[in-house]
Structure 1
Amino acid sequence: MELPMEQRLSVRERERWYDVALDAEAVRPAAVLLLFGALDDAPAHFHDSAVPDDLDVLFVERAANLSSHPGQVAFPGGSIDPDDDGPVAAAVRESVEETGLDATGVEVLGVLPDIPLSVSNFLVTPVLAWWASPSPVAVVDFAESAQVFRVPVADLLDPANRRMSVLRRGGQIFRSPAFLVHGVVVWGFTAILLSHLFDDLGWTLAWDTSQEIPAPIASPPGDD
């Protein structure tokens, strides 16, 4: 199947999560891979006419001992290195390094507008891709990742799995979309990006935005 990617994520974010501007002198370019594929043997529990039961997306759970975004669920990706031939190459390279996937089976569909991640001063390019020939994936380095897993998109769309995460920081309250799947909470940048992508594709189902959960922030090493 092909994803209808004519839609593009809006540059204007609706959450206050991105209110803080990046430090222009120290901003770091990064890229993440939104890799959609077809699950082999674990179809969705929830059924929705917008997507097939076997459509899935790849995630990594970051290791709890990392200094940046410890324990968070994310798309594979990372910093764009000087040797990378742009964000697409960086997103694919980082994904191979983190999950062991075979890059020859990945078909890049395009890129979304850059999104600022003010918490770590990254300017992130989301790269959309289709997993034409899925390959085995697993944690390559447990110092970097706790787990690698695939989640059915229909389960992400299930209104029962949607929440608003609430983060209190610096006397302010930040609310943003979150997903409860695979025994983990997908929140923050990853959930915001997913939520807007689903909105723009017309896949989002009505859900109760009054249901809130605390943002599950893990303390970086040395903060105890």
Structure 2
Amino acid sequence: MTRGTRDEAGVTAGVREGGGPAVTTAGLPDWLDPVVRAARTVEPRQLSRFLPPEDGRGRQSAVLILFGEGPRGPELLLMERAGTLRSHAGQPSFPGGALDPEDGDPHTIGPLSAALREAEEETGLDPSGVQLFGVLPRLYIPVSEFVVTPVLGWWHTPSPVGVVDPAETARVFTVPVADLTDPGHRVTTVHPRGHLGPGFTVESALVWGFTAGVIDRILHFAGWERPWDRSRQVPLDWHA
């Protein structure tokens, strides 16, 4: 049983009786207030045109959108997927993956547990240093058929992170929010099939696809977005 309030994704935010991850905004730094407000009010269609199929298809998964504070201020934790993986190979992404049965109910605590578990497995992150403070609406990745719950976290006590399994992860890195909002790092990516999407050229990487789309919307609805040249295009590789 879970005590708490229903968020926009339909995930119950609260403390599960008997233990488990909780969602709370208590004690967050003031600079996260715009993200908290956005998470409470944003509608699914405002985040993506790709939403979970109404017939329930898709594999339930979760990602951890982890905000920390580094030498240059607020930052996000990202990882680069190994180039040998079957899906999304070589792409920068949030830590995350499919829900396991032991994570719990996919409609309540499951995505919270999965986001923390996957982050620990992929980056070595210590979950005890993370405060979960919000959940965004579930989104859909058609190419892999994942139904993704984005879970927001505050890295109040940073721990060492790095590649745990080279077969899954090529590298782990943080990106200052200042770089993500810098117009000079913003591009429009062009998929070989003609699809256009937001992109970020940061930390020797091109962040695109689902991850870039979520970051783009967070920056927009948090009021952090700065005007940028959307005509600056970067073509993606043919196998993207």
Contact 1:162 1:180 in 2 (8 A): yes
Percent sequence identity over aligned pairs: 46
Deviation at 1:82, TM superposition (A): 1.2
Matched, 1:195 2:219: no
Give runs of aligned pairs for residues 37-48 of structure 1, distance below 5 A.
Answer: 37-39=68-70, 41=71, 43=72
Deviations 1:163-209 (A, max 9, x none): 0001133xxx2101000000000000000000001100000000000
Partner residue in 2 for 1:112: 136
Change (3 A) 1:149 1:217: farther
Contact 1:78 1:94 in 2 (8 A): yes
Matched, 1:159 2:159: no
Give runs of aligned pairs for residues 78-157 of structure 1, distance below 5 A.
Answer: 78-85=97-104, 86-157=110-181
Deviation at 1:218, TM superposition (A): 4.8
Partner residue in 2 for 1:175: 196
Bigger relative contact order, structure 1 or 2, given CA contacts below 8 A and separation 6+? 1
Equivalent position amino acid for 1:176 in 2: G
Matched, 1:11 2:32: no
Matched, 1:77 2:96: yes
Change (3 A) 1:187 1:212: same
Contact 1:23 1:121 in 2 (8 A): no
Partner residue in 1 for 2:5: none
Deviation at 1:215, TM superposition (A): 2.1
Q: Secondary structure at the match of 1:168?
A: coil
Change (3 A) 1:216 1:60: farther
The alignment's C-alpha RMSD in Å is 1.8
Change (3 A) 1:27 1:14: closer
Give runs of aligned pairs for residues 53-72 of structure 1, distance below 5 A.
Answer: 54-72=73-91
Matched, 1:184 2:217: no
Report the structure, 1 or 2, having the larger helix content: 2
Partner residue in 1 for 2:12: none
Q: Secondary structure at the match of 1:205?
A: coil
Matched, 1:31 2:55: no
Deviation at 1:7, TM superposition (A): 1.3
TM-score normalised over the length of structure 2: 0.79
Partner Cα separation in structure 1 for residue 237 and residue 224 of structure 2:
26
Partner Cα separation in structure 2 for residue 193 and residue 14 of structure 1:
7
Q: Secondary structure at the match of 1:7?
A: helix
Partner Cα separation in structure 2 for residue 217 and residue 92 of structure 1:
33
Partner residue in 1 for 2:11: none
Gaps in structure 2 of 5+ consecutive residues: 1-28, 105-109
Equivalent position amino acid for 1:126 in 2: P
Contact 1:99 1:137 in 2 (8 A): yes
Contact 2:192 2:238 in 1 (8 A): no
Equivalent position amino acid for 2:156 in 1: A
Deviation at 1:22, TM superposition (A): 4.4
Deviations 1:38-79 (A, max 9, x none): 11x4x2xxxxxxxxxx11100010000000100000000000
Aligned residues: 202
Contact 1:31 1:125 in 2 (8 A): yes
TM-score normalised over the length of structure 1: 0.85
